[in-house]
């Protein structure tokens, strides 16, 4: 059931082009908490000097070096979305989107590759209800 709800939320969330925007009404402690949750998530998913993420579209495990968090945050339903910049060993630039929940505590639920070298990617998320 959790997979179904998360899948539906992700599908709805990433159909909008507003993900890279910023909602100025998100301010104060919640903005700070979202940024801190992203930093913690990145730290927990870093092995050695590399943030590790599976690229489902390319079918590859990526080992990336964290560069910086984006300032922009938007709210989509029950979730917040913000981004961060990374680079791989070859110098390829990755922009990752982070889906953040503020339900019981503020934490990152999932990270997705948003763009590579500035080329935006579509999210290939299937609706589990249609499987």
Give the Cα separation of 99 and 78 in Å (integer).
Answer: 10
The two tokens of residue 92 are 């390829």
Of 84, 111, 114, which is closest to residue 100 (Cα–Cα)? Answer: 111
pLDDT tens for residues 70-87?
A: 999 999 877 899 999 999
> Which pLDDT belongs to residue 10?
43
pLDDT tens for residues 26-56?
A: 999 999 999 999 999 999 999 999 999 999 8
> Which pLDDT belongs to residue 123?
63
**2-121: what fold?**
Nuclear Transport Factor 2; Chain: A, (3.10.450)
Instruction: Parse the chain into domains and list their residue ranges.
Output: 2-121
Grouping H, G, I as helix, E, B as strand and the rest as coil, residue 68 is: strand
From first CA to last CA, the distance across the chain in angstroms is 14
> Which pLDDT belongs to residue 79?
86
Of 72, 69, 53, which is closest to residue 61 (Cα–Cα)? Answer: 53
How many CA atoms within 13 Å lie on the side-chain side of 13?
A: 30
């Amino acid at each position: 059931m959790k997979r179904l709800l998360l899948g539906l939320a992700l599908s709805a969330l990433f159909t909008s082009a507003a993900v890279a925007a910023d909602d100025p009404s998100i301010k104060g402690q919640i903005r700070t908490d979202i940024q801190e949750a992203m930093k913690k998530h990145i730290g927990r998913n870093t092995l050695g000097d590399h943030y590790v993420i599976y690229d489902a579209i390319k079918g590859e495990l990526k080992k990336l070096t964290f560069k910086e968090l984006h300032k922009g945050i938007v709210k989509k339903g029950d979730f917040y979305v913000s981004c961060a910049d990374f680079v791989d060993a070859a110098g390829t630039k990755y922009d990752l989107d982070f889906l953040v929940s503020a339900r019981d505590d503020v934490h990152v639920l999932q990270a997705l590759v948003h763009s590579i070298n500035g080329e935006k990617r579509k999210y290939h998320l299937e609706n589990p209800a249609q499987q």
